Amino acid sequence: MSSIHLLCRGSLNLHREPSSGDYESGNWDVSETEAKELIGGMIYLHETKSKRSYFGGKINSFRTLVIDAPRPNRIVFRLTPLREGKGVEWKGAGHGMASKSGVVGT
């Protein structure tokens, strides 16, 4: 199963959808190809790469978003929160400027 670890300080752009209980997490600089690969996989949100995930869940779908930025095409994931999404160590790209792990196996 594919997964992704993302730096998401202060639950930025993490919103609960009241009608379904699912969440949206977004404005991620992730390609559509990566997003498609992640459907059915896990997303883990971290305050820092050295801290375990504070939130996570199963990715159900995604939508694209265009913002005013140098890399304008962004992804918003829709996910179901899962208990096993918390407390997971960062996997994947770990260099100083990395804000995402890239797609990794779980």
Domain residue limits at 10: 2-91
Q: Which residue do the tokens 């977004």 mark? A: 26
pTM, 2 dp: 0.89
Q: Which residues of 56-84 are buried (b: 16+ CB within 10 A; e: fewer)?
A: bbbbeebeeeeeeeeeeebbbbbbebeee
pLDDT at 12 over 70: yes
Alpha-carbon dihedral sign for residues 74, 60, 2, 56: positive
In CATH, what number is assigned to the domain containing residue 13?
Answer: 2.40.450
**What is d(CA 62, CA 24) in angstroms, rounded to the nearest whole number?**
9
Total tally of structural domains belonging to the chain:
1
The reply to whether 97 falls in a domain is no
The predicted pLDDT at position 105 comes to: 82
pLDDT at 11 over 80: yes
The reply to whether 87 falls in a domain is yes
> pLDDT tens digits, residue range 15-39?
999 999 999 999 999 999 999 999 9
The reply to whether 37 falls in a domain is yes
> pLDDT tens digits, residue range 40-84?
999 999 999 999 999 999 999 999 999 988 888 999 999 999 999
